[in-house]
Structures are given as C-alpha cells and as structure tokens.
Structure 1
Amino acid sequence: MPSVSTGAPKYSVGRWADERTFREPTMLINESQIRALIRLLADEDEKIVRTISGKLIDIGPSAVPLLQEAEIEQPEMADRLVSVLEEIRGGNLEDELMQLAALPDGPMDLEQGAFLIARYAYPSLTVTSYTRQLDEMAQEVQDRIGPRASGEETIKTLNRYLFTEQGFKGNTKNYYELENSYLNCVIDRRTGIPISLSTLYLLVGKRLGLPVQGIGMPGHFLV
C-alpha cells in the first residue's frame, strides 16, 4: 500500500483504519492525529486521499489551522489542501445560513445573510470593515440632512449620496458577473445588480431610521 515518505514517520491508512477515531468523526481527535492525516494527503493512492479528505472535512474547523500551516510534500498536495479547506469553510457557512433561515418567524437579519453569502466566495472576508463602511455612509448622509429632516428629504439625500456622489451603479456590461452578487464587492467596486444595490440601500436606510422594505416582484426586486 502506498505511503508518504518525506523524512517524517510513515503513515498509511492501515494504521488508522482500526482506530475508532477514524470511523467516527464525532470522536475527539488530537493535534498529532490531525497532522498525520494531513500528511496522508500526499499519498499516491487517490482512494486513500479521498478517504483522508473526508475525515479531515468531518473533523471540521479544528483542522483548519493545521491545514493552513501544513508543509507541502508534493505538488498535488497543495490542491488537495485547498479543496479540503474549501469544503470545511463551505460546510460551516451552509450551517450558519440554515440556522439563520430556521429562526422563529420575523424579519431575517439581511445584513448577516448578505455577508454570509459573500463569505462563500471570500472565506477570509473581514465583515467588520464593511459594516463600518455602511455605518460611515449612513453618518455622512445624516450629517447632510440634520436631525429634523423629513423622510422625503432623507430619501432624496440618500439617493444623491449613493448614486451620484459615491457612484454606485448597475453593471450593465457584465450583468451575470458573480461579483455583482457579493455585498463586499459591490461596496468595493461601486457596481452591482438590482438586488445587491437594493440590499445596500436597505442597510444604509435602516441605519438612518427609514422604514424601507424590500419587495420581491416577478423578475425584479424593489425598495
């Protein structure tokens, strides 16, 4: 049976196959065992690699730091490490979305949901930097209107601020570009599609105390 040989101790599936921790992902597994599994991602046998990848995915977040610092022992191992990391992160985000959707009746946290979707494409996304930008946008609008502005005045100022001063616009040239749907990209590039631009508008509007709501229409999304 193929095994990894890199100067470090050799490991093979046989060593782990008889261990209860290998068969049951719910069992505790220590750091040295995780490192041993990671080294097996360099094995030449694709069946072994698939089995080990599945085990690491089952271990989940506790394996992430060790996967990130793992020494690359052969070219294919780098791709395998990335694949396992993506599966772990994707699974965690899916769980978070399911939990968000399963909350009792009431309005879903739009901001949390929007950034969860963005983290699918950008796992290392620093959400707080973008929430801070949304706070700053709302504050800049508030500074322009003062404390006694009417709702109509606030909306006009918000429209001018977002779509004229800040230059947010629809991506008419590349409507189906994935980045149009990720709120962090919309904020960075000042470009999006109706639903992502509406999300931005809702989040800034809520910070200003406006009673804005999103309305799903056939083929459209309106605020």
Structure 2
Amino acid sequence: MDDSDQMVVKHAKHKLLEFGTEIIPNLERLEEDSFVNPRQLENVTEVLDALRLQHIKSSLKGWLQSEDKNLMHALFIICSYQYPELKIEDFTALFQKLRHQCWMEVNSRQTSFEKVEALNKVFFDVFNFVKVSEIPYSPFDIFINSVMDSRQGTDISLGLIYSIVAESLDIPVYGVTTLNNRAPYILAYMDKDNLLPILNWGIENNGVLFYIGIGSKGLIIDPKQLKEAYASEGLPQNKSQFEPSPNTLIIKKYLMDIKRSFENHVQFRYKLNDIDELLEFF
C-alpha cells in the first residue's frame, strides 16, 4: 500500500476490497500504524472507507427487508456511517437515562395530555433539548448520537429521539413527515383510548388524538389547527400529511436532511455520493 508504483497499489486495493467487510478490523489496525507513512495512510483509508460504506449499504438493505423495520436500528446504521467506531450498545445506552427519567414521570393514571406534559418536562426542562436556530443546519445537529451529546438538534432529530422514548414507554407517539422540505417534522399522538368522539375536534383526523410540535417545545396542536396552518402556508392537504409515516419514509427523509446538511457545508460535500447510494435503496 505504500509502493511507489501505482499499478501495484491499485492491485493491492482491488485485492483488499475482494476480501470484503470482514477485514475492516485489520485495516483499522493498519490505519493506526500508518500515520508515519502518509502515502500508505491515504491508500489504507481509501479502502477502509469503501468497505465501511459497503457494510452500511448491506446493513441498510437488511433493515429494509426486515419485518419490524426498527427505527432505532436504522438510525444506528446511518449514524455509524459518520461515526464508524460507534457501537450499538453505546448507541442504545444514550437513550437509557432519558427513558428512565421519563418513566419516573409517567404513570397509567395520567391522561394523554398529562403524559405529553410529563415527557415535555423531562425532554425540554430537565435535559434541556432545544431546536437549533442556525440555518443551514450542521450534520451534527442531525446525527442522533451527536444530538444526544449536545442536546440540540433539528425537528427530525429531536422528534426521532422523543418518539423512540415515548414508544418504549408504550405511549403511542409517531413521526409524521413527507418529502416536502417546507413541511415540518411533527409527532402524532394516536387515539388508542377512543377519546376522539368525546373531544370532537370537528375534523377527520385519521385516528390522531392531537399533534406535538417538537420544534416548539412539545406544543400540543389539535388536528384542525394543523390543517389550517398548512393551508395558510400553501402546504399539501393530502391524507399522508396528517397521519403517522412508515419508518421507511422517515428514514428516507432523515437521509435527505443529512444530504442537505452536507451540501451546505463544503467540508462534507465529498460524502454526497455516498448518501445518494444509500438513498437509492428507497
């Protein structure tokens, strides 16, 4: 890998790629030992990046073929693209303290509204999660593990964390999104207790009890208010705009937001082709 003959280096790269992702640990060790040799380091890193992308693509393809399409697992796969050293155990552990604190505040006697108030208290007051105001967003405001560290993120990154924690506590909160970049990522609280006839919001709301504006500190929004807001902004009024989205659509939207953040920061633009390759699966 440090040969002066480019034909030799090309052949070596090709042979390493043929071995596949199983040799990633070996190449990582070789990379650590190559810092005194810039030429070798560059070549090893190139092969390592290619194999890591191959591993991400294989994992994402497997996720798409799985029955449950677990949201947290897909987020781990995508975050490990940017953070190849990230371990699934460390990733899931990021949620545990937040989940435990929410579990302490939520109980079965609370109404749906009270449960959201309890989640909001922990999420926004105790853990101090905030929506970033700076635009364009940094990729680190989107990747879930970095958002968990900084406590600041976008609508979609904060919404994903919020909904994963809520679902783990058997609270029916799910993401609502479209591929329209103007539409915010919001959360829907589903009516599993058949309260809609009592509330009578006066509008067909696809089984949604109310919505949660994650970018406005968990503001509760009734379905009629949301439709009126979308109409005033000239946003689509199709049914899918107002009901929980499938996890495949949520992950596609998540990747698109990452791509847009890469486009807006010149130091990340070399990664755009990689994200395009991941989006091709959708």
TM-score, normalised to structure 1, is: 0.74
Amino acid at match of 1:58: E
Q: Using the TM superposition, give the Cα deviation of residue 157 of structure 1 relative to its aligned residue in structure 2, in angstroms.
A: 0.9
Q: Give the AA of the match of 1:167.
A: N
1:4 equivalent in structure 2: none
Q: What's the offset of the Cα at 1:108?
A: 2.2
What is the CA RMSD across the aligned residues, in angstroms? 1.9
Whether 1:177 and 2:138 are equivalent positions in the alignment is yes
- Structure 1 residues 28-61: Cα deviation after superposition (integer angstroms, max 9, x where no partner): xxxxxxxxxxxxx111122321232122122123
Partner letter of residue 59 of structure 2?
E
1:44 counterpart = 2:14: no
Give the secondary-structure state (helix, strand or coil) at the position aligned to 1:69.
Answer: helix
Larger displacement relative to structure 2 (199-208 or 169-178) = 169-178
CA distance in 1, matches of 2:163, 2:7: 49
Question: Paired residue for 2:148?
Answer: 187
Q: Does 1:222 pair with 2:186?
A: yes
Task: Give identity over the alignment, percent.
Answer: 23
Q: CA deviation at 1:64?
A: 2.4
Question: What is the match of residue 77 of structure 1?
Answer: 40
| Alpha-carbon distance in 2 for matches of 1:174, 1:51 | 44
Separation in 2, partners of 1:174, 1:52: 43
Preserved contact between residue 42 and residue 77 of structure 1 (Cα < 8 Å): yes
Contact 1:135 1:207 in 2 (8 A): no
Work out which of the two has the higher radius of gyration on C-alpha atoms and give 1 or 2. Answer: 1
Count of equivalent residues? 181
Provide the residue aligned with 2:21 in structure 1: 61
Q: CA deviation at 1:143?
A: 1.1
Q: Answer whether contact 1:171 1:191 (CA < 8 A) is retained.
A: yes
Q: Is the 8 A contact 1:175 1:193 kept in 2?
A: no
1-side partners of 2:114 and 2:104: how far apart? 13
Deviations 1:54-99, CA, capped at 9 Å, x for gaps: 2212212332233233353732101111221111111111111011
Distance (whole Å) between structure 2 residues aligned to residue 109 and residue 118 of structure 1: 15
Secondary structure of 2:110's counterpart equals coil
CA contact (8 A) 2:63 2:74 kept: yes
Give 3-state SS (helix, strand or coil) of 1:213's partner: strand
The structure 1 residue matched to 2:49, chosen from 86, 110, 133, is 86
Give the equivalent residue in structure 1 for 2:157.
Answer: 196
The normalised TM-score by structure 2 is 0.60
1:165 Cα offset (Å): 1.8
Q: Which residue of the other structure, out of 69, 73, 89, is the alignment partner of 1:128?
A: 89
CA distance in 1, matches of 2:72, 2:14: 32
Counterparts of 2:176 and 2:10, CA distance in 1: 45
Q: Point out where structure 1 has 5 or more consecutive residues left out of the alignment.
A: 1-40
Helix, strand or coil at the partner of 1:108: coil
Equivalent residues of 2:76, 2:91 under 8 A apart: no
Following TM superposition, by how much is the alpha carbon of 1:161 offset from its aligned partner in structure 2, in angstroms? 1.1
Listed one character per residue, the Cα deviations across residues 2-49 of structure 1 (whole Å, up to 9, x for unaligned) are xxxxxxxxxxxxxxxxxxxxxxxxxxxxxxxxxxxxxxx111122321
Distance in 1, matches of 2:104 and 2:24, equals 44
1:11-26 to 2 correspondences below 5 Å:
none
Alignment-derived partner of residue 161 in structure 1: 122
In structure 2, relative to structure 1, the CA distance for the partners of 1:153 and 1:109 (3 Å cut) is same
CA contact (8 A) 1:114 1:183 kept: yes
Q: Which has the higher contact order (CA 8 A, sep 6+)?
A: 2
Structure 2: runs of 5+ lacking an equivalent: 188-282
CA distance in 2, matches of 1:127, 1:175: 29
